[in-house]
Amino acid sequence: MTAPNATTEPKVGGRAESAPAPERSHKLWGGRFAGTAARAFEALNNSLAVDARLWPFDIEGSKAWAIALWHAGVLTLGESDRICAGLDAVGRRLADGVIATPSDEDIHTLIDRLLHAEIGDVASKLHTGRSRNDQVATATRLWAMDACRRLDVVIKDLQQALVERAESNVGTLMPGYTHLQRAQPISVAHWMLAHFWPLERDRVRLSHAAASAGVLPLGAGAIAGSGFPVSRVLLQGTLGFASRAKNSIDAVSDRDFVAELLFTLALGASHVSRLAEDLIIYGTSEFGFVRFGDAFSSGSSMMPQKRNPDALELARAAAARRLGDLTSMLALLKGIPSGYNKDLQEDKAILFSAVDATMLVIPAVAGTIRDLRFDTARMRAALDASMMATDLADHLVERGASFREAHGVVGSLARAAEEREVPITALSDETLHAAHRALDASSRASLDPDRSVARREVDCGTGPRAVAEQLAAARTALRG
C-alpha cells in the first residue's frame, strides 16, 4: 500500500520509479502470534495513511530516546550515534517518498523497518524501554505544538487584514445592527475591530492549547513507566517540552490537548463564521455595503450576473465541521478505560483534518477581506434618522428629563413619524415641542449621525478618538 502524498507537510509518498523490492513483513509485535492477521483486520487497524505525516516528529522523538538510552547506560555512545545517524537517513528517505508495505501498520512501524534497513540489527535496541504508546503521544504532542505555531501565523494575518481595512475607515459610518434591525450609527472600523478581538482571544486559547500539548509523555512506556533509568529531564530539554507528565498511566492516555485544540478551532471557526455571515449579508444587493473582489468569488454556471462569496460560505460551513470534530473527540474520550486503548488512534484523523481545514479557510477569508470594496455611500444612505432616537432621548436627559420619561417622549415621536410615513427629522418644531417642552429646533442637531458617533468617546465606544485608541491597541496586540 502507498501512503498518500501530503499537500501541507512532508509525508510518506509512493514513487513507482524508486520502488524497492518488496521487503519482508516487519511487525513490532509478532512474537506471541502463531497465525497471521486477517486482511479485514489489517485494513482497519492500519493508520499509516493518517499518521505518516508524524514522521519528522517521530524521528525527533526517537533520536532523543536514543540519546537518553546512552545517558542511562543502555546503549554505548557508538550505538546511540549510529541510531541517530540512521534515523536522519530514514528521514531523508521519507522526505523523498518511500513505498510502504502492508505490514507497516503505522508510521512508527515503518520508521523501525527503514531503520533496520539502514543500520542493521543495532536498530533493534532503539525500542528498549519504550512503547508505541508513549511514542505516539510524544509525536502527536510535538505535531500539535507545531500546528499551534502555524495556526497563530494565519490567524494573526487575518487580524492584520481587519486592521488594515479598519485603519482607513475610522470616519466611515454605517448602521450598527441588533436583531439585524438598524440600531445606531457606528464607524466601519469599529465593526471590523469587533471581529478582531475574538480572534485575539483565539490566539490566547491557542497558546494555552500549545502549553497543554507541551507536556512530555516519553518515558511512560506502555503504562507503568520505562524499566530503564532514562532521564526525562534530558528528554524534556532535548525535545522542547515545557513540563513532564507526572503519571505514566495518564501520560499515555491523555488527549486533553487534542480536545483543547479542537475546542479552540471550533470556537475560532464560529468567530470566523460570524464575520463571514456579516460580510455575506452586507454583500447582498439589498444591503450593498460591500462588493466582493474577483479573486475570492465565483460565478454561476447558469446566471451570468452572479458573483458569489464562496470563500465566506465555506468558512461558515467549516464552523459546522469543527463543531463535529470537537464532539467526535469528546465522545471518543469519554468512555475509554484508563491507559492506552486503540480508540486513541482515531484522535489524529480528527486533529489533522481540523487543522488542515483551518489552515485553508483562514487565509481565504483574509484574502476576501483584503479584496473587498466598501460602498461607503450606501452605508451612509442606510443611516435613517430613527437610528438617532437614543441620541434625542439623551439630549432630553441633558435638558433635565429622566431617561424613562425621555424614552417615552422619543418613542411617541417615532410612532408619529411612522404613522405619517416620514423620517423623524421631518416632524415640525411644534410637534417636537408639543411632545416635550424642552424640545425645540436646536434639538434636531442630536439627530445627526456624525454627532451621534462623535459623542461615543467612552473607551470601547465608536467615537473617532476611542476607535483610534482601539486601533492602536489592536496593533500592539499584533506585535505580541
Stretch that binds ligand ARG, among 131-139, 243-251, 318-326, 382-390 (CB under 6 A): 131-139
254 touches ligand ARG (CB under 6 A): no
CA dihedral (113, 117, 119, 123) in degrees, to 10, reads: 20
Q: How far is the CB of 140 from ligand ARG (least distance, A)?
A: 8
Instruction: CB nearer to ligand ARG: give 133 or 297.
Output: 133
User: With respect to ligand ARG, which residue has the nearer C-beta, 342 or 437?
Assistant: 342
Among residues 264, 281, 288, 356, which one has the least CA distance to residue 316?
Answer: 281
Rule CB under 6 A: say whether 133 interacts with ligand ARG.
yes
Between CA 394 and CA 443 the distance in angstroms is 11
In the bound state with ligand ARG, the residue whose beta carbon lies nearer, of 47 and 184, is: 47
Tell me how far apart the alpha carbons of residues 127 and 228 are, in angstroms, rounded to a whole number: 11
CB of 266 to ligand ARG, least distance (A): 22
Residues 26-55 that bind ligand ARG (CB under 6 A): 47, 51
Which DSSP helix (H) or strand (E) runs through 178?
A: strand 173-178
Interface region with ligand ARG, contact rule CB under 6 A, candidates 58-66, 128-136, 299-307, 368-376: 128-136
Phi, psi dihedral angles at 174 (to 5 degrees): -150, 165
The neighbouring-strand residues paired with 298 are 308
8 Å CB contact between 266 and 350 = no
Return the C-alpha cell found at 284.
447582498
**245 with 235: CB under 8 angstroms?**
no
> Which residues in the 343-372 window bind ligand ARG by CB under 6 A?
344-345
179 is catalytic: yes
Comparing CB distances to ligand ARG, the nearer of 282 and 340 is: 340
Least Å distance between CB 54 and ligand ARG?
9
57 near ligand ARG, rule: CB under 6 A: no
Of the listed pieces 132-140, 153-161, 264-272, 280-288, which binds ligand ARG according to CB under 6 A?
132-140
Range in contact with ligand ARG (rule: CB under 6 A) among 73-81, 229-237, 308-316, 339-347: 339-347
DSSP H or E run through 177: strand 173-178
The residue annotated as part of the active site, out of 179, 285, 301, 428, is 179
The residue count of the chain comes to 480
Q: Which are the contacts of 270, defined by CB distance < 8 A and separation ≥ 6? A: 319, 322, 323
Least Cβ distance, residue 316 to ligand ARG (angstroms): 32
Q: Phi first, then psi: what are they for 218, rounded to 5°?
A: -60, 140
Q: Min. distance of Cβ 84 from ligand ARG in angstroms?
A: 22
User: With CB under 6 A, what is the number of residues at the site for ligand ARG?
Assistant: 10
The β-bridge partners of 290 are 374
Handedness of CA 383, 385, 386, 387 (dihedral sign): positive
Catalytic residue among 168, 243, 300, 402: 300
User: Looking at beta carbons only, is 142 or 471 nearer to ligand ARG?
Assistant: 142
Residue 340 interacting with ligand ARG (CB under 6 A): yes
Select from 74-82, 340-348, 355-363, 390-398 the region that touches ligand ARG (CB under 6 A).
Answer: 340-348
Longest CA–CA separation in the chain, Å: 101
Concerning whether 270 is annotated as a catalytic residue, the answer is: no
Q: How far is the CB of 233 from ligand ARG (least distance, A)?
A: 25
Contact letters for ligand ARG, residues 93-112 (x by CB under 6 A): -------------x------
Handedness of CA 321, 325, 327, 328 (dihedral sign): positive
Q: How far is the CB of 473 from ligand ARG (least distance, A)?
A: 43
Show the DSSP H helices in 283-309 as ranges.
none
Minimal distance, residue 136 CB to ligand ARG, in Å: 4
Q: According to the binding rule CB under 6 A, does residue 136 interact with ligand ARG?
A: yes
Assess contact for 227 and 129: CB atoms under 8 A: yes
User: Cell numbers 505518516 label which residue?
Assistant: 52
For position 132 contacting ligand ARG by CB under 6 A, the verdict is yes
Q: Using CA atoms in the order 329, 330, 331, 335, what is the torsion angle rounded to 10 degrees? A: 110
User: Please, what is the Cα angle at 142 between 154 and 211, to 5 degrees?
Assistant: 70
Please give the positions annotated as active site. 179, 300
Enumerate binding residues for ligand ARG (CB under 6 A): 47, 51, 106, 132-133, 136, 340, 342, 344-345
